[in-house]
Each structure stands twice: as C-alpha cells, then as structure tokens.
Structure 1
Amino acid sequence: MIISMAYPGRYMRLFYIVLVSLLIFDFAFYPFAAHAQSRRTARQTEEKSERPSPRPFTTSVPEETEKEVTPPVEIKSIGKAAYDAVIRSGRYIVGPGDVFAVVINRNEEIETFEVPVGASGSLLFPSVGPVSVAFLSLTEANQAIQTAITKRFHQLDISISLARLRTFPINVVGEVHMPGAVDVEGVEQASQLITKAGGLIDDFNRKGSSRNIQIMRLDENGQWHNTERRIDLELWNRTGKAQYNPFLLDGEQIVVPVARSDSIYITGAVQYSGSYEFAPGDRVSDLIVLGNGLRAHSPPKRAHLLRLSDDGEWRPIDIDLSRVLAGDPEANLTLQAGDKLYVIGETKWVYVEGEVKFPGPFRFKEGLRLKELLQRAELTSEASVVQASLIRKVNFEEQTIEDDPALNRLLGIPRSQRTDAEEALIALKTQQLSGRLPIDFVALMAGDEQHNILLQDGDVVRIPRFVPSVRVTGAVISPANIPYDAALTVGGYIDLAGGFNTRAKEKDIIIVEGNTGNAINATLESIVRPGDAIVVPTRATVPGQGYRITREVIAMLGSIASLVFTIVLINREL
C-alpha cells in the first residue's frame, strides 16, 4: 500500500490533480464569497436595527427577595367594567407588591395604616405575624386575613381592603408583532395587552386571528392549560361587552393563533355584508351582530341559512329572526364553518356612505344607475373618486365559493404551502365573491357610460375621504404609507420604503388597485395611483444559500486533498 501511494498510477495522478484544482478554486474564490457574505450580514444587521426589539418570552416567578418586589401602581381611577369584573367580583389575584389598607376602630379613635405584600407572599401585621396571601384570589385573601386577625383580636373592629395594585407580567405570544412579556398595570383588558405587544400581524401572507384568541393559565405544576375564556375582538368591537375582551389575571397568558381559513357569511338586509372568521360556538345571533345588526328602517323577519350537507349539496334552512332576537335557542342555531346567512328584507334600498352631502339609504327603483345615485347624494370637495367602490351583496343561492373549483382547490392548500401567485388569485376571487365590483369611478365621472351600471337592491357605494398616499408593504425594509407623488413609479415608492430586503421577490411585485381592489402584476416602472397598495412578496429561502453550501463542500474537499497530498509526500520521503 505504501509503495502504491509513493508511486501513484495514472488514475491516482488524475485524482490528485482534481483535488488540488478544487483546493485552488476554493482559495481563489473565497475572498469573493466572504465579501458577499459580509454585505448580506451588514444588510441584515441594518434591517434588524430598524425593527423594534421584542420583549423576551418569560414565565419566571420573582425570587424570594425583598428587593425584587414590584412597586405598586397608583391607580387614580378604575372603570366600572374593570371594577365589577375583577375587584368587586373578588377574582383579582393577590401577589407581591399589592398594598392593603387596614382600618382599626378603637371606639375613641380610628387608626389606619398600609401593609404591603412582601416578596415571600405574606402580609406582616403587628402583633399578628405573617399571613400568606400569595396568588390567592382577593376573596380568599380577605378571608385569610380576617381569620388571622380574629384569632388574635376579638373585641376590635378591624376592616381590610385592597388599596393599591401592583404591576405584573403577562405573556402575549403567537401572531403579534412583538411577542413576549408585557406589563399589566393593575387591571387591563386583553386588547390593551395585545396593543402593547405590537398588535395583530396582518400581512399579505400572514394574519393573526381576531376571534379565536386563547387565554392559557399556569397550573401548580408549571403547565399551561386552556381556560374557558376566549377573546373575540370582532364581537367586542360590535358590542363592547367585556366577556369578549376579558381582563387578564396574574398567571395567565394570551395566545394569538393564525386566522382560520374557514369563514361564515352574511348578506341581505344587514348593515355590513361580508365574510367573517369562524369561531366554534358561533350562533345565528352572533353572525347578525358581526354584520352590525339588521337595517333599522325595515327590520326583516326571515332569513335563509345555507349549509353544505354531507352529499355536497347546499340545503336552505328557514330562520325566524323574531325568535332568534328573542333568545329562543331552538331558532338561534349553532353555526358551522362555511354557513351563509341571507337576511330577507321587505323594502328595497341602495346605500351611499362616506364623503357625500346626503349619506344613507336611498329607495331603490328599477332602472336606477350609479351616476344618478351619485348625483342625488352629491359628492363633497374632499371625496376620493379614485378610491370609491361599489359593494354588491352576494346571492348565495346563485353564486357560492364552492361553485368555483379552482378557488375551492386553492383554499384546500395550507396557507404556508401556497405560492404568491396563488395567494393573489385567492385575494382577487374572494374580493369578487364578497361583492366589490371593479368600477372605475374616475372614468365614470368623466362620462364613460360603460361604468354607469344598473344598480341592484342592497348595493352600497362607498366614497372615502381623499388620502393622497400609497401603501408599500411586504418584503421591504420599512413598510409604510408614503405620500403620493405623480412623478414616482413603483420603483420610486419602494426606494422610499427603504428598498428590497434580502428575501424580496423583486420580479413578482403586485399592485392592489385602490379603486377596484384588483391585484395586478407590476414592474419597477409601473404607474401608481393614489390609494394603491404595492405588495412585494417574500421568497422562501435566502439568496446565496445554495452558493454557501457549495463553497463549504469545496472547502471540505480541498482539506481532504491537502491531507492526501501530505501523506503522498511523506511516503516519498520514506
């Protein structure tokens, strides 16, 4: 073996030449690769420096030292909802940092003093000793304090009350911009804590749920468990009821999942037709609330609920709305994902909203056209014709999502596995199904009769206030709304947003038109109008990753070649 290595044959010499060539290639191109890597690292560092740093995730409990007691918060006022839900109900969780007020009535004089909860979780009363109250409810803590004092003093009239509240951490994790621990200052609702965590993520290809937010609780064994409480920000925005936006207690955390892809739909004689994220347990009354209620000028009494049966057919179910609104559980059916509710109105109306002199309902008549309606409503000087839209209710009995096989197939693909083109197609098709018609209001007001369409019962015309800006979002350094400049193209707005980041798909830019809602492919030279949105998709892998792997393999082979070459030289010396 030693002899064969000392005097290599033709094939061995060829093998050595290849390995040495790889070694030379590695050393020759390494400076270029290192330079490219340093440039990418510098860009990534710059991007990270411009982002707000998320607070670290923590579930730690303060150690038993007095210096780590969180100072109490001076609460100047607590709303009635917070007081009733947390303090008056006795559900507040007592912990280190809370301060209790003690009032002693000695007949001739009244003595008052404050007693803080120490780091050990105990209240230290003079002549009584420590009373452990850590992580008890306020009701349980008051009982423990009264029991300890009564054993020591029988004749004195002593009252105890919570005087000042502490600050404690709550974890907000999941689909928020800055997941981690946020401070609860006394008593705060879930929506306030989500806002502190940067708000829900609502990007082009990623969205946090607003209706299925979970509240988890830490048990005695350090394990997180679901509670019966659920956060539903959509219903809370409609009703203002604290049950949909609860107050958080110490030992709980908020988990924001990805928004569900299945929805429930409502249209007809309601204030806001559309689709809404499905939440298990939804009922017909909840869907009516999500639609902002029935139209007040002609309250309907009937509705049709369309439900997909096991055999793939849509089955209508008659709904008695008077019984639903009266709270009849038999009429107020539990909904399923994909259900569609059509509320039947008796009087036909069309609606104009936004920057007009006479907003509101207009009685519908056959032959009414869009331009005539706008003339009757009279646009104001601040109306944005470019961003105006016409929303038409969907007749679920004639057109459903399941009627479109291509859309149905795309919706069956997990969100993480869809391409940008598939996401854009889903957005376009669902916009069309939800009723937004691609009307060019600028051409309409200029006299183009092609866009002066016949209106239908329930049509809604929305005229927003003119906002001279263009939204740039997606894979750019600094997503933002940028003031409109007629001289700028897509490339100019992207430059003002900091340029592409390292994961941008620079050739797959999409413009979402402000006046029609249509998503169209664009280039850096494409024209942009006020109200448009520029979306830069994100690529799945970082550019240069394949080259780095190739370079590392070549470096490894070069090292092997060096080792073999050294052995050959040693053998020759021998």
Structure 2
Amino acid sequence: MSCKNYSCKKNVFSLFNTHILYGILIVILSLALVDLSFSQEEILLKPQEALGYTELKAGETIALDTPIDPKTYRIGPGDEMTIFIWGNLQAQYDLKVTPEGKLLFPNIGPIDVSGLYLDEVKSRIKKMVLKRYKNIHVTSDLTGLRKFRVYVTGAVNCPGVYEANGSTRVSEVILKAGGFANEDKELNRWQRPKKKVEFPPGIASHRRIIVSHIDGGIDTADVLIFEQAGDLRYNYKLTDGDRIFVPLREEDVNLYGIFGGVRNPGYFEYSPRDSLKDLIGLAHGLSIDAETAKAELVRFNEDDRTTSKTVIALGDILTGKSPDIHLLPDDRIYIRTVKYYHEKQQVLIIGEVMFPGFYAIEHDSTYLTEIIEKAGGFTKLSSLTEAVMTRYISNDTKDREFERLKQIPVADMSDLEYEYFKIKSREDPGRVSVDFKDLFSNNKEGDIILRDGDIIYIPRRSEVVVVSGEVANPGMLSYHPQYNYLDYIKLAGGYSFRADKRKARIIKGVTGEWKKTNRKTKIDPGDVILVPEKQKIKYWTVIKDVVSFLGSTATVYLVIREATK
C-alpha cells in the first residue's frame, strides 16, 4: 500500500523515529550493564588483593617448602591423582577427588578416599586395580593440590575466611588475615636504643595459637620460634576447615628473658615446650664475646615474689655433656661477656708526617713518640709549636659546673662564677697538654700514653704573625724569629691614633693564652698581636658620678657631725 497524502508520510516518519530511539536506549542500557559488571568484578577483587593472595589459575603450580609427606597428607575433595598402569594393559588416568571424597575410576568404579592419608589412598587404588586386572603394575601420584577454606579469628587485623592448600602453614594464613593485631609493620624491630630492655611487640600471642581441626583434634601453633629461629616444627600445615584462633598474651608476665652475651637480648613470650637451647635460639644464638663456661638462671620461688639464683654449666649443656634445662614462666638467663674481647683501639695522625692516617695501638702501652715514629716522623714543613693532640670527652667526664653556668645569664653569675666561666670558655675541650717541641727534643719525660680515638694534628708551619686592631695596616705578616711585638707593629704601619698601647695583648696561637705585651715575650708563628681601641671618655657621665659621690660624702659627714654633738 502506498502513502500519497501527508498524514501517511507523517506516520511512517514517526514510526521510524520511534525505532531509532528504542535502538539507542538498548545500546545505552547494554553499555551500562557491561560497565556495572566490570565495576562489580573490580569490587570483588579488591578484598582479595588487600588480603595478600591471588587465586591460582589452571595449570599453575603451587610453591612447596618441602615435598608432600604421604604419611601425613590427608586427601580431600579437589586433590588430583594420576594413575599409571603398565604390563598387559597400558593406561594413564588423571582423576580428581569429587566433592563427596571419591575417585571415579573408569572400569573400576568409585573409590572412597576422603579423610585417608596419601599412602593409604595409594594402597587402596593399587588393591582395587589389581582386583580388576591381572599381570599389571600400578603407580599412583598426587599431581595437584586442592584448595579449601580455613577460618582465622582472634587478635588479627582482618579476621575472616581464607583460601589455603595442603602446603599452607599457620604463619601464611595469619599474614593473609592482615597479621597480628596492633603491630606496626613499618617499625624496624631490629633497631633499638643501646642497653634498652626489649619487650615483645603488639598484644597478640605468637606462641599459643589454637588450631582446631574438623575431626576434633587441637594443635597449638608457635609462629615466634619460626620467625626468630626458623623452626618449622610448630608452624603447622593446614587442612580442610581448620579454625585458627589467635589469643591475646599477658603484657608483663608469662615471659622469659635472656640478657648479656646473645645477639638479640630481651624478653620473649613464654612457651611450656621451651628449654634453654630454645631460648638461646630465639635470641639468635650466643655472641662471639659470650662467656660460655657458665650462666646464671634467676627463677621465682613458690611465693611468686622472691627469686633464687642458680649457676648453670652453659658450655656443658650446649655441647651435650649435660642435659638441657626446661624453663618456667618469667625465668631470666644472664650470660656474661668477656671484657675487652677483640677491643680495637686506634689513633689518627693528620698533617705533616710522612705517612698520615690511622694506626693501631695497644691498651695502656703505646706512647705518642712510638706512633710518630711509625708514621715516618715529621716532614720539613711541620710546626711542632702548633701541633695539637685531642681526646674524646664522654658525657661522664664533662665539667658539670661549666655546663650549668652556660645556662645562666652572665648578669646572674657571681664574680667567682663569671671568672671560672671565662677561663673554661677559653679552653679547648679534649685538648691534651703536650709540648711537642720539647718532647721531640729528646725530653721523653713528657711522653704520653695514647687512648683509643686520640687525634694528633701536626700543622704546616704558618710562618705568619697576625697584627689585629688599631694599627695602620692590620693583617698577616711574615714571621721573623728575632722580632718582638713592637717590630711587628712597626711592620704593620705603627699604631693608629685611636690605639690603646697600654692594653695591647699577645694571644698565643697554640694555647690561646693572653699575655701582656713585653719586649722579652717571644713571638711564635701563629700568634696574634691585638691592639684595642681607646675607650672614649664620657665626660658628662664622669661629672655625674663625681657629683653623686660628693653628695653622698657630704650626707655622711653631716650625719656623723649631728650624731657627735
């Protein structure tokens, strides 16, 4: 039928537009559904990623830490077996245990294997096949591990249900559950302040983890001895439906500690299975400087308040000559260390010697002259008058009074305190008093025994004297052995008109000592001649002070006169 009028054309056009709109809506809805499905898939994947594991794909192998033990591995739904038959019959069967725990063997029938150990399953398969066929050989192997669910509860960060397989251990599934509760993963547990007693981190027990099996059996897992000593005995492998419960531990009791000659001293969570050797393993073994002949065991008495001390033959226990000692809660072991064991002592020589650098010394027996001789002696450019030897000052040897005065304003100090403060401020901390020039002029009386960390500095001859202050041309001048301070001031252009000649001083370059100027005072290289500026007289201040003094004197005079009338 043809449309010849406008009304018919309009209906066709409207119908065409309607189909187009329906098509567009269908496309939009399809895209929205696809996007929603992808979003849901991403949402479902995120928790798995957060839990720290990924699902195994088909054909992907499972990493094993040890081979599967046929005597301890229980077969369950999802395990894969491969059976080889040869002889009169050549065949290979790849079978998977059904959800009901059976192997569906062609021509033989279902074999019930659920809950049996692997070696029992192999025997049952062989028996069933040999019953069906004669003059053949049968070999069966486990070729694929099943996945199953386990439950993690208690003091973990993310309790819940997690996938595992026959090689998964307790520590792995706890890690999937976010680790033990209230433990900072960013904290470096191996960095600790020196001499600080270390307590176990967090609040969760690492040693009394309860693993409940579906057959009613219960094991107590110990993750700490695996973490600290690499001992897998109690880091059990999991089976179908295991329930893992991580309890809280006591905070300050039910611990035991080891201190002294071990690599990782501190307190550890107690386990009733432990002995002395186990505790030493948790402490990463004895240190090289440990005194292994004996140790001290401190144990609480029956009143739970007082303690008793027992000396134990540590060396005999470690070598097997004596039996190991079973430990009790809150026992403490103290192992002594050998004093000065492999103590490494050295000094540093810097500057003008033939071979500068570090040199080994012996405790309380190496002298300064010996080390200089080992260093090849002084160079021709060395300055013994400016040589310095410094020694490390510990906090125990610091001047406590000087440290106290540094915190006090000068205005609050007494005259004696201020004088002491000035003297100590001019001292060079750690400087050892030694006259190098006199010592190496065959005067051995001033020789010094060296200590670990001493620094010997032999500078190059400066060959200059510094003239500073109120002179015409202050600065460095060439050293002349026969010159006195006036000669150097003359070389510097003489005094300026503001110079205070009477207060001129000589500052010794080596000691920092201030000396009054004197023609007979010897000037050495590195010395400083200081000429200060005259202080301007404030006449108005002087007049006020004089008037005030006269007024006070007159007042006193009048009071005395009135009192004597």
TM-score by length of 2: 0.46
> Taking structure 1 as the reference length, what is the TM-score of the superposition?
0.45
Q: Which has the larger radius of gyration?
A: 2
